[in-house]
Amino acid sequence: MSNEGRKRLKVATVKSVVALFVLCLGGWGIYAVVTTWETNPTALKSPVKGVPVKAIDLRSDGVLDQGWVTRRLALSKTAGLMELDLPALRARLLDFGQVRTAVITRKFPATLVVMLEERTPVARVHAQLGHAQPQDMLVARDGVIFEGVGYDPNLINSLPYLADVSLKMTNGRFLPLAGMEKVAELLSTARANIPALYANWQIVSLARFALDGFIVVQSKEIKEITFGTRESDFFKQIAQLDLVVEEAQLKPDHPAVSVNLAIGETQGGAQVPVVFEATPLAPAADSVKSRAPRIGVPAQAPSVRAAPQRPPLFTNLHFTSREF
């Protein structure tokens, strides 16, 4: 072997030894960190213990902003990133009903990352918390009742109220309402397909939901609209309602006051009972005037006239196939 070859061999040997040393040192360091984390994690916190949290990185799919998260977490100005109890902070966020899920992670050197998934309100309910004054609360699709923060007032005012529901509390919080999945499905179908009619929906009653599976809606146009929940979706009933309103508008003197779409559902959709408002009886044109009879002339008996006929109070509207 030449002198040049021996030099290259020495250099390669030295490189191999150094690489092996670095590899062994790295492996030992990883082993030491893992062992220390399992046995004494506080030893790892000490190097960054004095670095306070400088920023909160919020990522949310809803309306809650960074100011709300900062107030809710209420972190101390001197709290270090590694000193934070992440499970306790997460529980503090989840205790607010508007938050559905929360994930909190550390981002070194001094950032706390907060990821939120929020609930969306579908209805309102007038409720009372303890001895406080009654107030409007929001109800989500999963039945959770919560105070809304950050929502557009126009959105809140467009939500119908729930009626005939039983509100129960445990540990200072309302229990979720049963049946809200179906209610939310009905409301979302109506909002998407008949927005003009949905805008006039005021109250959604669940008085007959548990027993009959009926959802009763009160609107500005029709006092009582009954929906059945046996079908897989509400699209067909919403289409029938739209046709009923269209037909009722042709009779402005006798507005519809009740529409039972649930009966149409049980009978295969062949007919939908509709109740129209009755016209009050008109007073008789010739009222009987009391007067004393003249001598020798017998008093005349009042003439009898047939009372005006009332319009039918119950009408079945028959539907044929028609695109909605």
Report the Cα–Cα distance between both ends of the chain, in Å, rounded: 93
The answer, as to whether pTM is greater than 0.85, is no
The model's confidence at residue 41, banded by pLDDT at 50, 70 and 90, is low
In angstroms, the CA 103 to CA 89 distance is 10
- pLDDT tens digits for range 187-233: 999 999 999 999 999 999 999 999 999 999 999 989 999 999 987 78
Query: Is the model more confident about 292 or about 109?
Result: 109
Residue 267 has pLDDT above 70, yes or no: no
CA dist., res. 21 & res. 224, Å (int): 83
* pLDDT value of residue 37: 62
Q: Would the pLDDT of 304 be above 50?
A: no
- The model's confidence at residue 45, banded by pLDDT at 50, 70 and 90, is low
The confidence score (pLDDT) of residue 25 equals 78
Count of CB atoms within 10 A of residue 284's CB? 13
Q: How far apart are CA 102 and CA 64, in angstroms?
A: 12
CB-neighbour burial class of residue 253 (10 A; exposed 0-12, middle 13-18, buried 19+): exposed
- Per-residue confidence (pLDDT) for residue 129, from 0 to 100: 73
User: Does the pLDDT at position 306 exceed 60?
Assistant: no
State the DSSP code for 233.
Answer: -
Identify the pLDDT of residue 14.
74
Q: Which CATH number fits domain 47-118: 3.40.630.30, 3.40.50.300, 3.40.50.2300, 3.10.20.310?
A: 3.10.20.310
Residue 39 is predicted with a pLDDT of 66
Percent residues over pLDDT 90 in the chain: 52
Cβ contacts of 30 within 8 Å, gap of 6 or more: none
Rama region for 246: left / alpha / beta (φ>0; ψ in -120 to 50; rest): alpha
Phi, then psi, of 229 in degrees rounded to 5:
-115, 15
The whole-number pLDDT of residue 3 equals: 74
Separation in Å, CA 184 to CA 113, 160, 191, 236, 321: 32, 11, 10, 16, 27
Name which residue leads in pLDDT, 315 or 166. Answer: 166
Domain parsing of the chain, residue ranges: 47-118, 165-279+311-318
Is residue 241 within 8 Å of 225, Cβ to Cβ?
yes
Residue bearing the bigger pLDDT, 22 or 323: 22
The fraction of the chain above a pLDDT of 70, given in percent, is 77
Q: Could you tell me which residue, 97 or 24, shows the higher pLDDT?
A: 97
At 126 the pLDDT is 92
Least confident of 76-90, 97-111, 146-160, 245-259: 245-259
Strands (E), 143-213: 145-146, 161-163, 169-170, 173-174, 201-205
Neighbours of 40 (CB within 10 A): 10
Residue 297 has pLDDT above 70, yes or no: no
DSSP per residue over 59-107, as a string? Answer: EESSS--HHHHHHHH---TT-BGGG--HHHHHHHHHTSTTEEEEEEEEE
Strands laid side by side in the 99-107 sheet = 55-60, 111-118, 99-107
How far is residue 54's CA from residue 77's CA, in Å, rounded to a whole number?
A: 9
Residue 216, SS3? Answer: strand
pLDDT digits (tens, 9 = 90+) for 141-191: 999 999 999 999 999 999 999 999 999 988 888 999 999 999 999 999 999
CA neighbor of 176 nearest in space, from 141, 205, 143: 143
What pLDDT does residue 291 have? 41
pLDDT for the residue 199: 96
Work out the average pLDDT over 110-121: 96
Lowest mean pLDDT among 29-38, 96-105, 169-178: 29-38
> 220 by DSSP, 3-state: which?
coil
**Tokens matching residue 190:** 């109506």
- Most confident range (mean pLDDT) of 39-53, 82-96, 124-138, 289-303 is 82-96
CA distance 220 to 203: 10
What's the whole-number mean pLDDT along residues 135-140? 95
